[in-house]
Structure 1
Amino acid sequence: MLNCDIVRTRLKTMILGRNLYCFQVIDSTNAHLLGLARDGAPEGTVVLSEFQTAGRGRKERRWFSSKGKNLLLSILLRPELEIEYAQKITLASAIILANTIDQYLKNKNLPPVDIRFKWPNDLLVNNRKLSGILAESILQDKKIVALVLGVGINLNEMPEERDPAIRDLAVSLKELTGADIDREDFLCLFLENFEKDYERFERTLYRQVIDEWKQRCNQFGQKVLLETPFGEQEAIVRDINDSGFLVYEDMAGKLHALVTGEIISGHKDASGF
């Protein structure tokens, strides 16, 4: 099981993870941290759990994760920015996580993996889901007073341990590299990188995020199936706009920005918090 005392000892952050809650079982790390946020928990509070009974992703989808194999955590941010920045913060979190995976594998002399982003919140390797991110906000006067980022990362779960419904849709770092992933080391590295890069992105009001995110997305120009507020639509992915929303071309050749929705592409979701 993940040792939170080791995490507290190794962690080299000033804020992130200094207020750390660890559970063996919880309903949802995001739900618990949202409650703590409403009670005044400080920025940087982190909630971890080995297993979730009501983990969820976008559209309230269930989360599937074997106990003690992966990382399930939620991070509390208090950016004091307009709600329009929430999407950019989600994209920034994906960048930080992908860079952390690259760094961890390099530090351990393990083979690299080619991580690609699927809008709005997935990290894929070979079109299989390695990680998902779910952002939930508490607003006041159209400003974010608290933003909870739920992060699920498949580290050590092998196919035979996975729910059959998602066995071929998900993938873990152990499956890709053949090596056990030290979860305490990985968590500390992720939180340390997050604290450093979050400050960088905040300082520049997320100006670099869109360009950095695009570098890991290979869906531009692809024909996909989208879930939109108006139902499912076939479309061609054209861009990500300056607000972090998907720009797509419909079958009539007209461009639209997708604010609420996702790329379906006939592929079942496998994430939740």
Structure 2
Amino acid sequence: MIEKPQFPPLLSGEVVPKHTDPFDKAVSRAIAGIDSGTIYYSEAADSLKAALVLAPETPLEEAIQAVYVAQIGLAESLGALAPPEVPVYFQWPDRIKVNGAICGGVRFSADVSDPKAQPNWLVIGIDIPFLPSSDEPGDNPNQTCLFNEGCGEISPMALLESWSKHTLLWLTYFMDSGFERVHSEWRPRCDTLGERIERPKPGVFVGLDEKGRMLLRQDVMTETVSLIEFAEHL
């Protein structure tokens, strides 16, 4: 019997049937007009798949910054549940790294793509592998799972419960004081800042601007790349 996660006030949870993607379910329910604050999740034992429905009251270019909030929520949850020596970092735009290897990430979608338009809904999903996808260690040296990083004592439902609490806390900070505090917390956890990267485009990752857009320096030019470009469009 899987213990049901306890969600904080303002958030509620709904289990999706087996073989149903919580993200797809959340998007379909958001289109239908479900209330903000519902988390759809799977009870699978080998991964945590969950998706939160939000109803932003700001233009998309501001609302999309909640993706960083969800990443911070994940990092803080893993920090609280995992052994203290396990480092958690971000790889822009949507990957989570544990001990230097990719360990799942976030995905997101909205009903608009114009930065100036206000979305009716924004869905942010997380997908964190708990068990190896292959029996052969070393098949994907740049990817890992929580079990392989010494986090075998953590259950998906415990991480979901913790993520919901930390994410709600940071959503409150975000709504109260804007992106600055979120940026200050996110920045030290991004391990490619100041480095040359190849994805999403070649250049030096200088940082984020006040709207949460990537600042990418290419020779003498610096361009911005928005998270909106990586949203899953319907």
Overall identity of the aligned pairs, in %? 18
2:46 maps to what in 1?
A: 69
- Aligned pair in 2 of structure 1 residues 45, 12: CA closer, same or farther (>3 Å)? closer
Query: Aligned partners of 1:120 and 1:45: how far apart in 2?
Result: 24
* Paired AA for residue 70 in structure 1: S
1:64 maps to what in 2?
A: none
1:13 matched to 2:39? The reply is no
State the secondary structure of the residue aligned to 1:25: coil
Following superposition, the deviation at residue 146 of structure 1 comes to 0.8
CA contact (8 A) 2:27 2:123 kept: yes
TM-score by length of 2: 0.86
* Paired AA for residue 40 in structure 2: V
Query: Aligned partners of 2:192 and 2:135: how far apart in 1?
Result: 30
Query: Aligned partners of 2:135 and 2:17: how far apart in 1?
Result: 21
Q: How does 1:246-257 map to 2 (within 5 A)?
A: 246-250=214-218, 252-257=219-224
Query: Aligned partners of 2:151 and 2:176: how far apart in 1?
Result: 39
User: Which whole-Å deviations, capped at 9, do the CAs of 1:97-125 have from their partners, x for residues lacking one?
Assistant: 101110112xxxx3431111111111112
- Aligned pair in 2 of structure 1 residues 257, 178: CA closer, same or farther (>3 Å)? closer
State the secondary structure of the residue aligned to 1:180: coil
CA contact (8 A) 2:41 2:49 kept: yes
- Aligned pair in 2 of structure 1 residues 76, 178: CA closer, same or farther (>3 Å)? closer
CA RMSD of aligned residues (A): 2.5
- Aligned pair in 2 of structure 1 residues 158, 201: CA closer, same or farther (>3 Å)? same
1:25 matched to 2:52? The reply is no
- Aligned pair in 2 of structure 1 residues 159, 167: CA closer, same or farther (>3 Å)? farther
Following superposition, the deviation at residue 212 of structure 1 comes to 1.3
Residue range with higher mean Cα deviation, 41-50 or 144-153: 41-50
Structure 1 residue ranges (4+ consecutive) displaced by more than 3 angstroms after TM superposition: 159-164
2:210 maps to what in 1?
A: 242
1:150 maps to what in 2?
A: 125
1:60 maps to what in 2?
A: none
Following superposition, the deviation at residue 158 of structure 1 comes to 2.7
1:138 maps to what in 2?
A: 111
2:226 maps to what in 1?
A: 259
Which structure 2 residue ranges, 5 or more long, are not aligned? none
Within the candidate set 31, 48, 71, 1:94 is matched to 71
Query: Aligned partners of 1:162 and 1:42: how far apart in 2?
Result: 43
State the secondary structure of the residue aligned to 2:191: coil
1:225 matched to 2:218? The reply is no
- Aligned pair in 2 of structure 1 residues 240, 36: CA closer, same or farther (>3 Å)? same
Query: Aligned partners of 2:92 and 2:151: how far apart in 1?
Result: 28
Query: Aligned partners of 1:191 and 1:79: how far apart in 2?
Result: 17
State the secondary structure of the residue aligned to 2:81: helix
* Paired AA for residue 41 in structure 1: I
| Total equivalences in the alignment | 227
Which structure 1 residue ranges, 5 or more long, are not aligned? 51-66, 228-232, 263-273
Following superposition, the deviation at residue 163 of structure 1 comes to 11
- Aligned pair in 2 of structure 1 residues 234, 19: CA closer, same or farther (>3 Å)? closer
Query: Aligned partners of 1:122 and 1:210: how far apart in 2?
Result: 16
CA contact (8 A) 1:95 1:213 kept: yes
Following superposition, the deviation at residue 161 of structure 1 comes to 4.5
Query: Aligned partners of 1:94 and 1:143: how far apart in 2?
Result: 22
CA contact (8 A) 1:78 1:144 kept: yes
